[in-house]
């Protein structure tokens, strides 16, 4: 198996750990790599795995309430604040 396969396996394991619904985070690699927006609002996400950088088409990640976090140098995030 390739390194990319293990990286996607890690992404899927992360999604399962946080119970991210499949309509938010598909467990199909082909669907996942074409995503432009990732909506994680209200899911209690505590971190984004480094493998998220494999999603080259991803432009926006919606996490919820803005907080100060260490910057993620390999991914530009648009973070919204929910009301």
Residue 49 phi/psi, 5° resolution?
-70, 150
pLDDT of residue 67: 52
CB 25 within 8 A of CB 38: yes
Q: Tell me, yes or no, whether 32 lies in a domain.
A: yes
d(CA 4, CA 1): 8
Q: What pLDDT is recorded for position 78? A: 45
Q: What is the mean pLDDT of each run of 10 residues along the chain (83 residues)?
A: 80 95 94 93 87 90 64 44 40
- Residue 43 inside a domain? The answer is yes
Residue from 78, 76, 26 nearest 56 by CA: 76
Position 53 in a domain = yes
In a domain, 72, yes or no: no
The whole domain housing 27 covers 3-62
Strands (E), 5-83: 37-39, 60-62
Number of domains comprising the chain: 1
Domain presence at residue 70: no
The number of angstroms, rounded, from the C-alpha of 68 to the middle of its chain's C-alpha atoms is 18
């Amino acid at each position: 198996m390739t390194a990319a396969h293990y990286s996607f396996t890690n992404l899927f394991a992360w999604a399962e750990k946080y119970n991210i619904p499949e309509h938010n985070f598909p467990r199909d690699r082909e669907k996942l790599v074409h995503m432009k927006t990732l909506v994680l609002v209200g899911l209690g996400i505590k971190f984004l795995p480094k493998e998220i950088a494999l999603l080259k088409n991803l432009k926006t990640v919606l996490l919820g309430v803005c907080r100060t976090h260490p910057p993620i140098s390999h991914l530009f995030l648009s973070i919204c604040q929910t009301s």
